[in-house]
Amino acid sequence: MPDTAPRTDVDWSRIADALAPVEVIDDPVTVKKRSRDFFWYSPILNAELRRSFGDLVVRPKTRQELAHVLAVAHAHGIPVTLRGGGTGNYGQAVPLQGGLIVETTAMNRILEIGEGFVRVEAGALMADINAALIPKGWEMAMFPSTQDIATIGGFVAGGSAGIGSVANGPLREKGNIIRLKVLSVEAAPVEHVFDGEEALRVHHAWGLNGAITEVTLRTVPTRDWVGCIAGFDSYRDAYSAGYALAAVPDAEIARKLCSVVDARIADFFPRLDAHVPKGRNLLVTLVPREHLEALRALVGGHDGVLHLAMDEAERQAAKLPHVFEFAYNHTTLQVLKSDRSATYQQIGVPDPADADRVARMRARQGEDVWPHHEFTRGGGTIYCADLPIVWFSTPERLAEINATYEADGFTVYDAHVHVIEGNHMQPDYRHLAWKKRLDPRGLLNPGKSLEWEKVRHLSADEIERLGPSGPNATET
């Protein structure tokens, strides 16, 4: 295990002086708040991480200021944790060994909008990027349900998929990330450029192997989207409709969201009370206006009813949240607003087309596990992840729930682990080879990679030769 003890031998006021003219926040309340992300979704991570705090928050406004911060950290050998909006779920942005929390939200300029791409600074909020793109006829190919408060740098470094991924694939799908610019942590930090497939060396590396300064992403033509919620008596019917919607050709229904939510979870959505009857299993989606009738027919064909269909203007007039705030990990948040004993898990569905197997698993798991499925597509294949609400009682019961999934071939990507190799993922040594090149002293987000502690004594090329593996799209 890595040494996760914070440094006690540092004169932080001296470090703050060295960081000038970059904005530094040393107010203990703010530093504590910025040391947290959404790890508290997990009672296990909450117990492990709630006492891990940084020492100073630093807010660079330009890449020159960021380079200065990284040079100071290198000179003094102090840990650096990059932070965007702090919406990650696994303590990704929690400083385990104290040090600098480098918040990127002041580096937020939208630099260029072109035919099929957008180039932005890493701290730009995704809602702001979409707001700039839409009047020009474009939108992000995908974004997380946290777009209002999450940064593009945090999404690329910590996220995997989102609204749009059922049409355009996850972030790692070829062509979605066009270019990343990344600063090293050295005496004189160098900006490296990662194009195309090379960008996957930095994507989903949890800020371990460089500070992303600039992101160029694929964009897609925007459409007149209608947010829709359909209701079904049975979960199996809702799931089957979801699968059919994910599988239908884009030319027939170009959905950019396809989420299925258990009726027991939907009962925790009071904002929908005036629009959606209680006790219904839901299909939550966004379709272009011209495909609304085709969606209505698909829903009817699975014994469902389309209860809600609102375009953006109607949604705002009705003072409703976006429909995607009843999808992805916002489902967990909606339940947690009423009852803090809820948590969740991340499950890969072995055969998304097999609705019977999904229905059997729902019955087998019992009353403390309520399913919620997200469909995505990658390389033309349909994937499905279950992000169930789990009513947490004990770690032993959680292990039993996981074992029940695994016994029937479902994969558990454990959401209750705070190391990058922990969510049932193979270590990606290509990430760690770049860490060796860009962060040779191992100052970035220390304690988050167990494998790094084993290989850090090797050269970058030796680490690279240990082989590749990829992060999984199930994480949210």
Ligand X SMILES: Cc1cc2nc3c(=O)[nH]c(=O)nc-3n(C[C@H](O)[C@H](O)[C@H](O)COP(=O)(O)OP(=O)(O)OC[C@H]3O[C@@H](n4cnc5c(N)ncnc54)[C@H](O)[C@@H]3O)c2cc1C
Which residues make up the interface to ligand X (CB under 6 A)? 37-38, 81-89, 92-93, 104, 122, 144-146, 150-151, 153-155, 157-162, 206-207, 211-212, 328-330, 333, 445, 476
Distance of CA 198 to the CA centre of its chain: 20
Minimum CB distance to ligand X smaller for 237 or for 386: 386
Q: Nearest distance from residue 122's CB to ligand X, in Å? A: 4
Q: Nearest distance from residue 290's CB to ligand X, in Å? A: 26
Q: Nearest distance from residue 37's CB to ligand X, in Å? A: 5
Beta-ladder partners of 229: 284, 308
Q: Nearest distance from residue 430's CB to ligand X, in Å? A: 16
Minimum CB distance to ligand X smaller for 103 or for 262: 103
Query: CB 252: neighbour CB atoms within 10 A?
Result: 12
Minimum CB distance to ligand X smaller for 104 or for 240: 104
Q: Which residue is nearest to ligand X (CB)?
A: 154
Minimum CB distance to ligand X smaller for 157 or for 355: 157
Minimum CB distance to ligand X smaller for 101 or for 283: 101
Q: Nearest distance from residue 172's CB to ligand X, in Å? A: 11
Beta-ladder partners of 260: 283, 373
- Give the burial string for 325-353 (b: 16+ CB within 10 Å, else e): bbbbbbbbbbbbeeeeebbbbbbbbeebe
Minimum CB distance to ligand X smaller for 121 or for 237: 121
Distance CA 369, CA 425 (A): 23
Q: Nearest distance from residue 160's CB to ligand X, in Å? A: 5
Minimum CB distance to ligand X smaller for 87 or for 176: 87
DSSP annotation string for 330-399:
HHHHHHHTT-TTEEE--EE-S-TT-HHHHHHHHHHH-TTEE-EEEEEEETTEEEEEE--EEE---HHHHH
Q: Nearest distance from residue 83's CB to ligand X, in Å? A: 4
Paired sense of beta strands 372-378 and 257-261, if any? antiparallel
**The two structure tokens encoding residue 135:** 């009047």
CB 157 within 8 A of CB 318: no
* Peptide linkage before 321 cis (omega within 30 of 0): no
